[in-house]
Amino acid sequence: MADTIDRVGRLVSALTREEKLRLVRGAPDPEGTATGYVPGVERLGVPEYRLVDGPLGVRAEGERATAFPASLALAATFEPELARRQGAALAREAKARGQDALLAPGVNLVRVPQCGRNFEYFSEDPLLAARFAAGVVEGIQGEDVIATAKHYVANNQERNRTDVNAAVDERTLRERYLPAFRAAVEAGVGSVMTAYNRVNGTHMSDHRYLVRDVLKGEWGFEGYVVSDWYGLESTVGAANAGLDLEMPGVPVTELHGPADGDGPTEAEEDADVASLDGIPDGTRAGFFGEPLADAIDDGAVPADRLDDMVRRILGQLARVGLLDGRRDDGAIDTPEHRDLAERIAVRGTVLLENDGVLPLEDGANVAVIGPNVHEPTLGGGGSSETTPFSAVSPREGMSSRAAGEVTVARGVREIEDVSLFDRLPFVERKSPEDEGVEEHASDPSIEEAVAAAESADVAVVFVRDATTEARDRDDLRLPGEQDALIESVAAAAERTVVVVNSGGPVEVPWREDVEALLEAWYPGQAHGDAIAAVLYGDRDPGGRLPVTFAREEDYPATEETRYPGVDGEATYAEGLFVGYRHFDAAGREPTYPFGHGHSYADFRYGDATATDRATVRVAVENLAERTGREVVQAYVRPPAAPDGIARPVRELAGVATIELPAGATRTVDVELDERAFARYDPERGWVTDAGRYVVEVGRSSRDVRTTVGVDRD
């Protein structure tokens, strides 16, 4: 450590100012694969440095990579160890593509269900989000790749994302929106990316309080702070607030060149990129070039700030061995990565309802229905898009697993993917060619789907949404005619199973008409195999909801002032009461509560005891004749707080996952997070009120099986 500091210090003294300025501003990647690129300084042995998107897979331009399940699916496993493993796999793939830093994980809280990027985030619960943030960071960095926690902070909607001001009070920031970032810092994250939005009136790249004072000061973050792409607004403000690296550093036209190689078309020239909602202005770059030199000459930015920026960046390069030229080759598309992508997809699948129709019998005749059954749902649109080497569609997965007859009917028109990239006039997509896209012989019809359902033993209907970065969903309904398709099939079929693939909660108005319902998120390349393994019972559906499912009007941020905001401001007036905390406080019934998810097994809980102030112990018995996976959840119910201070009814404090063979009983210890007992007091910081706290232990936030009191003094 001391050696690294000396070494980086010596380098900083040896660099000229020109060289330092080049290290804090991105440039075009000569190889054209990176999302962000920093040229090195050859004479001093500082290597060039590549940053690449993103949380679901490595998005090196024009190249393939393993397409992992979306972050929300990962979080639905409730098992941070899988986050560690996914992070490590992403890092190995990044190295195989010659990349040095990953622009992942995305750790923003799921505040509004409409947010187009919820699939890239973990949860509405700060503890769950924090555990997964730490897991991914540890996984990535254990492989000597730099992780980037993004987008700091309160980037909770895509609507007007480049401009919206999040008006949020200090306690809410501390208890809800900051914990996942803090956990990433505690896990040693090398980089934090600032968000596009403002918080309490200040653009995040200029936010002295949140960047310099809280992130770097209070939390002791020693890595570098990178801007989001075209996310800088000023030179002096950003430099003095603690921003260390401008990305991508050059205007979009310099990075990609005009789309057709013949110069922009008239239409492209007319397109006012900056005026498109959610699209950053790609002409705004170079704040850290000459303008930074001038600001230092003027005395507006202290010269040692530039040294600090460089020190922070080089410190990370040193930490992962890049200054020693230590780069192993990594690995991509290995059997291990493919298996992991499938395992996470299985474990993240949430069985919301099951009247006993599942698991399917091997020999059942199955109608596989749905507009997109011929293609895997890889993810949402935007910077996290990944092109896999191979992928399995639901139709393929079901056909290869089924022993009975499989008939396929699309039913209604295909739901088309949406992508941020389709809205960027100057960006040419360099994804590898799509292979094997099926041509359809005829138009789909609901009649055809009904006929298939009538002649089968069971109908499995696959439905999905389509979400993207830079755009929120208009509503929580399934798009197109999919609700009508489900209703018709459910009326005709003897038994109907619905599998939803979505980037967040959706409304399921037909749920009482179907025999089983699963939420499988965006499962990535293993889609078909993973869902077939769950439906046929080869694997227990391991997932639990990391977000509450409810009707749109029942969520807390329904008033326009809260979301999407009025006159450019979204007021976080619900405060602490995000997600299940709102439903609990308002006494409102969600459709499916936070933490919910069935297993094919059936569990009995014994009485919980507190082994010490931070651990509760409970015996869990598997009553079923098959192995099952249980997610034991502990929530803390605080005693009444001093006058005028609100506390949620319950807060997630700990989770333990176990695999239990048929008939087995195990004692499970759930570690409780200290902050679940505490509240943030703007004057005193984190405080724990004395008194008796009730720890609820159970299967979801609304399915408490046993409780135990824990005293605090």
Residue 689 is a binding residue for ligand BGC (CB under 6 A): no
In the complex, the smallest distance separating the C-beta of residue 137 from ligand BGC, rounded to whole angstroms, is 15
In the complex, the smallest distance separating the C-beta of residue 176 from ligand BGC, rounded to whole angstroms, is 20
Residue 377 is a binding residue for ligand BGC (CB under 6 A): no
| Cα–Cα dist 503/415, whole Å | 14
In the complex, the smallest distance separating the C-beta of residue 5 from ligand BGC, rounded to whole angstroms, is 29
Among 99, 123, 349, 383, binds ligand BGC (CB under 6 A): 383
| Cα–Cα dist 284/684, whole Å | 41
H-helix or E-strand containing 631?
strand 628-637
682 residue type, one letter: P
Residue 190 is a binding residue for ligand BGC (CB under 6 A): no
Residue 197 is a binding residue for ligand BGC (CB under 6 A): no
Nearer to ligand BGC among residue 152 and residue 594 (C-beta): 152
DSSP 662: T
In the complex, the smallest distance separating the C-beta of residue 250 from ligand BGC, rounded to whole angstroms, is 14
In the complex, the smallest distance separating the C-beta of residue 278 from ligand BGC, rounded to whole angstroms, is 9
Q: Which of residues 78-137 bind ligand BGC (CB under 6 A)?
A: 103
Size, binding site for ligand BGC by CB under 6 A: 8
Residues forming a β-bridge with 102: 52, 147
Residue 531 is a binding residue for ligand BGC (CB under 6 A): no
Residue 150 is a binding residue for ligand BGC (CB under 6 A): yes
Nearer to ligand BGC among residue 177 and residue 229 (C-beta): 229
Residue 35 is a binding residue for ligand BGC (CB under 6 A): yes
| Cα–Cα dist 493/456, whole Å | 8
Task: Please list, in sequence order, all residues whose beta carbon lies within 8 angstroms of the beta carbon of residue 292, skipping any fewer than 6 positions away.
Answer: 21, 24, 25, 235, 239, 301, 306
In the complex, the smallest distance separating the C-beta of residue 232 from ligand BGC, rounded to whole angstroms, is 13
Q: Which of residues 232-251 bind ligand BGC (CB under 6 A)?
A: none
Which positions are catalytic? 228
Nearer to ligand BGC among residue 51 and residue 239 (C-beta): 51
Across 116-259, the runs of DSSP E, i.e. the strands, are 146-152, 165-167, 191-194, 198-199, 202-203, 224-226
Nearer to ligand BGC among residue 250 and residue 514 (C-beta): 250
Q: What are phi and psi of 17, to 5 degrees?
A: -65, -40
Residue 423 is a binding residue for ligand BGC (CB under 6 A): no
Residue 54 is a binding residue for ligand BGC (CB under 6 A): yes
Residue 472 is a binding residue for ligand BGC (CB under 6 A): no
| Cα–Cα dist 541/709, whole Å | 32
Among 48, 53, 175, 540, binds ligand BGC (CB under 6 A): 53
Nearer to ligand BGC among residue 51 and residue 530 (C-beta): 51
Cβ contact 443:449 at 8 Å: no
Nearer to ligand BGC among residue 35 and residue 501 (C-beta): 35
Total Cβ atoms within 10 A of residue 202: 17
In the complex, the smallest distance separating the C-beta of residue 100 from ligand BGC, rounded to whole angstroms, is 15
Across 120-213, the runs of DSSP E, i.e. the strands, are 146-152, 165-167, 191-194, 198-199, 202-203
Classify burial at 36, counting beta carbons within 10 Å of its beta carbon; exposed 0-12, middle 13-18, buried 19 or more: buried
Closest to 398 measured CA to CA, from 370, 378, 439 = 370
Residues in contact with ligand BGC by the rule CB under 6 A: 35, 53-54, 103, 150, 228-229, 383
